[in-house]
Structures are given as structure tokens and as C-alpha cells.
Chains A and B, each alone.
Chain A
């Protein structure tokens, strides 16, 4: 059997497919979010004793870490679609990059916000110019810059290429964010933010955290696809297939 890998690479074919996926994905992410919240609030120990006692505010981990991961992952996805768009000059790739950006910006903001409300009780401050916090803030500005640059250029094709370039240049921030706490010699990065230590996490807390990560990931797919459908409609509004779609959907 010959598989046509490019079948869904055109907006015409992708639009109805995304339409079927969006409600399923939103539903799945909601179920996972509820499961994660239940597990995180009711199946985890209230206080972890020992040498590293945690108070209740540690529960912010269930959204802080997943949203921080998503903020970096979605930027990678955004830059990848931007690069594919530049190389192959495909319409849908740029639209994908556009569709991912606002969701990525939201997760970056959530990571910063939840971090601030975790930092206040544990470090005594909402904000510090710590390497991890600073680089994550710059990532947020990169998302905003990408969106702003794209909307500042009237010609959509030029806007696509210019903002794609910005997205690719912005990729330098990802390793900076990663190594800002994971540097080989801990003495060399004087960070307030603790090092990532997945293997040390208590298993119930890890369960809730990883479930939330999966939920946020599926949510990102759903939100990006929903936004992509709107972008396709706007950009391809003059083509005959969109008119056909409109006759079916606008009357409903």
C-alpha cells in the first residue's frame, strides 16, 4: 500500500481533519486535567518529612513544571514549522507556526506566574533575576515578539518569512534555559532555582505532574488546531473550497 504522506499537508485536506480532532482532543485533555488535579490534591502526602520538608504550596508543581516544559516544547514546534515553511515554502507550515504561538505564550506566562507564587513562600520573593527566571522571561518576550512582528507586516507572505526568521534566531534561548539549572558543575551556575531532579520525586507527585504534562500537551494540540482552522478560513477565504465549507458551516 502506498501512503500519501502529503495528503494532509494542504489546508483543504487538513481543515476537516482538524475539525474532527479538536473536540476529541479538548475532551481528552479535560479528563486528564481532572485526573491529575484529583491525584495531586488527594492522593499525595500533605507534607513530605525528612530532611527536605515541603509545605502545601509545593502543589504548584503540578502546573508549574508541565507549563514550563510546554513553553519550551511549543517554542521548538513553532521554530520547526517556521523552518519547514522557509525551506519548502508550504502554506500550511507557516499557518501551523502561527497557530502554536499564542498557546506557547500562554504557557510561558503560566510558568512565570505560578513560579512567582511558588517563589514567594519558598524563597521569600516573587521575582529574582536568577538565570532560569530571566531566560524564561526572555522566551516570553520572544513569543510576544513573534506574534507582534507577524501582525505588524501587512503582506502575509512577508510576515510569515520575517517572523519565521525571528523564531529561528530565538532558538538560542532554549539551550540557555535548559542549562541555566542543569549545568555540569553546580558551582558554576549560581542559581536560586533548584536543579531538576525527576528521579527524586515521590511517585504520586510524579504521577500527577506527568499526567498534567500530557493533558497540557493534548490541550496545546487542540488549541493550535482550533486556531489553525480559523487561520485557514481567513487566509483562504477567496478559494472555492472555503466557499463550499462556508455554505455548510455558516448556515448551521
Chain B
């Protein structure tokens, strides 16, 4: 195990490279989820607001 982590003495370089890649990809996925949730909740709020202000407009057509 230690052998694997040491990477023949090049642990700093190997794990810095792989670590940053991992970090950025995970950050991107998290950011995508968060932004989707934000958009959905904001638009849902707007929709409810419209509903409350004009409950029957547009539905008679």
C-alpha cells in the first residue's frame, strides 16, 4: 500500500496531477447539479407567483 502511495518517490507529482483532475471533474458535476436545482426552484417560485396573481387568466381560452 505504502509502495503504491509513494509512486517510487514521485508521489507529489503523480498525486498532484491526478488529484487536480479528480477535483475539477467532481466540482463540475456538483456545480451542474446545484445550478440546475437553483434554476428549477427559481422558476417554480415565479410560476407560483404568477398563479397567485392571476389565477384564471389564460385558462378560459
Contact = CB atoms under 8 A, between A and B. Distances in A.
B24 A230 contact: no
B13 A121 contact: yes
B40 A233 contact: yes
Contacts of A102: 28
A62 to B, nearest CB: 8
Interface in A31-56: 41, 46-47, 55-56
A109 B20 CA distance: 10
B26 to A, nearest CB: 11
Nearest to A224: B32
Contacts of B28: 102-103, 106, 223
Which of A46, A63, A109, A242 has the most CB atoms of chain B within a 10 A radius of its CB? A63
Q: Give the interface size class of chain A.
A: 35 or more
B53 interface: no
A67 B39 contact: no
Interface in B1-24: 4, 7-10, 13-14, 16-18, 20-21, 24
Nearest to A107: B24
Contacts of A194: none
Given A56-B7, A117-B13, A227 B21 contact: no
Nearest to B35: A230
A47 B17 CA distance: 19
B44 A246 contact: yes
A41 B14 CA distance: 11
B8 to A, nearest CB: 4
Given A57-B13, A118-B17, A250-B40, A230 B32 contact: yes
Given A102-B28, A230-B35, A57 B40 contact: no
A110 B7 contact: no
A251 B29 CA distance: 22
Interface string B40-60: 110110110000000000000
Contact of B14 (A26, A56, A113, A229): A56
A113 B20 contact: yes
B36 A67 contact: no
Contacts of A226: 32, 36
A237 B13 contact: no
Given A246-B47, A249-B40, A250-B47, A60 B17 contact: yes
A150 interface: no
15 contacts: A57-B14, A60-B14, A60-B18, A63-B17, A64-B17, A110-B21, A110-B24, A117-B13, A219-B25, A230-B32, A242-B43, A243-B47, A246-B47, A250-B40, A251-B44
